[in-house]
Amino acid sequence: MAFFQEVELPEQKTYSDGVVFPVVLSPTTDANVTYLQEAIRAEKPWLESLLKKSGVILFRGFPVTTASDFNDVIEAFGYPETPYIGGRASRTQVVGRVYTANETPPDKRIPFHHEMAYVPDSPTKLFFFCEEEPGSRGETPIVLSHIVYEKMKEKHPGFVAQLEEHGLTYVTIAGDVDDPSSFTGSSWKSAYKTDDKNVAEERAAKLGTKIEWMGNTAKVITGPIRAIRFDEASQRKTWFNSLAGTYGVPKTDSLNTSVELGSGDPINDDAMKDLLKIFKEECVAIPWKKGDVLLVNNLTVLHSRWPLIKPPRRILASLCKIYDKGISIELGNGEAVPDEAMIDCLKILEEECNLDFPSKLFFYCEEEPGKGGETAIVLSHVIHEKICKSHPELVVKLEKHGVTYITIAGDEDHSSAIGGISWKSAYLTDDKNIAEERAAKLGAKLEWMGNAVKIISGPRQAIRFNEENQRKTWFLNHGFVPMKSNTSDHGQYFELGNGDLVPDHAINECLKMMEEECVAIPWKKGDVMLINNLMVLHSRLPLITPPRRILASLCK
C-alpha cells in the first residue's frame, strides 16, 4: 500500500491547466521517521514529478517532531547542501544541515523573493519545517513565479522589457555585527563566514559581488544580474528577483538595501505597487501545523512571511542545490551514470574549488624536444624576497590592493597567442548569458565588445602566504603584461587592484630575477614532473629544434 496520499486543503489553488498549488501529502498509516525516510527514497521519482508540476509539496501529519527528524528527512532526499555564503538574513545552525529561518522579529513581514536571487548560483530546493506551531498568523505564503511574470508583463510591458534587457543591481549596507531586527541584517562577517576583509572580498567576488569598505561597514554591490529567468523544466519565464525586498518594507530595512535597473535607472514605482497587489492576489498562505515540512522549488516559486500575531513560532530551514549535469555521460557498458554518483562528484568539485587555482601540476614528456623548449621552474618565495629588497613600495601596494587581470577574448581560438583561447572555449558555451554566469562564479566580470569580450578578474591576491613553508610567495601571473595608459583592446594585461598602473621597470626587473634564479632541465622522453603550484612558478622556454610534446594535468 502506498505510504503517501494526496489531500485537499481550502487554501489550495487549482489552475486551468489542472495544476494544484501546492500539493499536500499525508501518510496512509502510522510510521516512524525511519519508515518515512525509506518511503521518500523509494518514491523519490514520483515526489519529484509532483514538485516539478506544482512547485511546492507540503508534507502534513508525518512523524517529524524535532530538528534532527527534519535533518533526516532532508538527507533522505539526497540533495547536496547549498552553503549560506553571501546571504543577507541572520541564521543560526541548529543541527546538521538545519538552520533557523530568517531571525528577523516574527511580527515583521518578509517580502516575496526567490531565495538568494541576487547570486548567480541560487539554491534550487528549499525545505522548511514547523517546529513550533504559530498561535496566530505567521504563515509562509508562496506564489508561482511565472504567473507573476505574466501578469506584470500584461500591466507593465515596458518595465518588464527593461528588466529583461538590463537586469538588476542590488546594494546592501552590512555592518560588522548582525542586526536581527532587519530581514537583511546579516553582518558581512556572517554573510561571508570570515572576520578578514580580504577573504570576504574574495568570497564575494566568487558570487559576482563587489565590496566597498566604509570603515568596518561593507557596501555590497551585486550585479547587474538577471531579474527574469527562463526555467528549462517548465519552459516558462519566471520573476526571479528580490525587487519586493525594497518596497513596502519598514524604513529601517530599506535604508540597508536598495535596488536599481542594471542600466542605473530607478525602479518604476507604479509597477512596484502593482507587483505587490499581484503577490497578494495570487499567493497561497496555509497556516502552519506542528511537524509540517514544506519543500519548495526555488526556481519556480517565490515565498514570503506574514507577520506573527500570536507567538510562539519557530520555523527551521535548509537550502539545497540540484546540479545540472549539462552533458550526457554513460558508463562503458552504455548504462547511465547514477544521479547520486554524479551529484557526489559535482558536490566534491564545488566544495574543493573554493580557490580558483590548482595546488599540484603534473607534466609529462611524450616527445623529447630536439633543442630548447624546457619548462623552467623557480621558487616563488625567492622572487618575493628579492622584489621586497628592490621594490618595497610595489610589494606593499600589491599586498594591499592585489591585481586585476584583464583579457580580451574573441569568439574563436587563436593558438598562436599565449592567451588566445576564445570566450566560448574558456566558458564552454556559445551563450553570452551563460558565459557571464560562469565567469561570475570565478569572480570575473565580462564586458562585451560585439562578439569579443573584455574579461576582468579581480582584484586578486598577488602576494600569498604559504602555510606549509610559512613564507610569502610571488603569486603573480606573468603571462599578463602591465596595463598602460595607451593599451589597445587586445591581449592580456594587469593593473593594481585600485586601478593604478604597475611600473614597467619593476616588472622587467622581476623577469630578470626569474631568469637568474630559475632551473631549466632539458626534457627527456618519459619524464614526469610534479610541481607544488603554491610554491613554484613555471614557464616555457622557446623551442629551437622540434619536435616537442608535453602533456599536463591539474590537481587540487
Q: Which of 198-202, 235-239, 254-258, 327-331 has the weakest average pLDDT?
A: 327-331
Percent of the chain with pLDDT over 90: 51
Residue 224 included in any domain: yes
Q: What is the mean pLDDT of residues 297-320?
A: 95
Does residue 313 carry a pLDDT above 50?
Answer: yes
Residue 173 included in any domain: yes
From residue 24, alpha-carbon distances to 12, 35, 60, 178, 506 in Å are 9, 19, 7, 36, 68
Does residue 519 carry a pLDDT above 60?
Answer: yes
| Dist. CA 431–CA 281, nearest whole Å | 36
Does residue 261 carry a pLDDT above 60?
Answer: yes
Does residue 345 carry a pLDDT above 60?
Answer: no
The range of the structural domain enclosing residue 204 comes to 4-320
> pLDDT (tens digit, 9 = 90+) per residue, 147-176?
999 999 999 999 999 999 999 998 889 999
Residue 446 included in any domain: no
| Dist. CA 334–CA 70, nearest whole Å | 37
Nearest alpha-carbon partner for 148 in 267, 289, 301, 19: 301
- Name the more confident of 132 and 420: 132
Residue 84 included in any domain: yes
> pLDDT (tens digit, 9 = 90+) per residue, 184-196?
667 899 888 899 9
The predicted structure's pLDDT at residue 483: 52
The predicted structure's pLDDT at residue 57: 98
Q: What is the mean pLDDT of residues 205-211?
A: 86
Helix (H) or strand (E) holding 218: strand 217-225
Residue 513 included in any domain: no
Count of domains forming the chain? 1
> pLDDT (tens digit, 9 = 90+) per residue, 476-491?
876 555 555 444 444 6
Helix (H) or strand (E) holding 154: helix 145-155
Most confident residue range from 247-261, 309-323, 331-345, 458-472 = 309-323
- To the nearest whole number, what is the mean pLDDT of the chain? 85
Residue 144 included in any domain: yes
Question: Which CATH number belongs to the domain containing residue 249 in this structure?
Answer: 3.60.130.10
Q: Which of 18-32, 94-108, 515-529 has the weakest average pLDDT?
A: 94-108
| Dist. CA 530–CA 362, nearest whole Å | 5
| Dist. CA 242–CA 116, nearest whole Å | 8
Nearest alpha-carbon partner for 387 in 274, 512, 496: 512
The predicted structure's pLDDT at residue 328: 35
Residue 155 included in any domain: yes
| Dist. CA 519–CA 531, nearest whole Å | 13
Question: Residue 401 is placed in which grid cell?
Answer: 590592493
Q: Which of 120-134, 354-368, 474-488 has the weakest average pLDDT?
A: 474-488
The predicted structure's pLDDT at residue 298: 96
Residue 415 included in any domain: no
Q: What is the mean pLDDT of residues 515-538?
A: 94
Torsion of CA 93, 94, 100, 104, to 10 degrees: -70
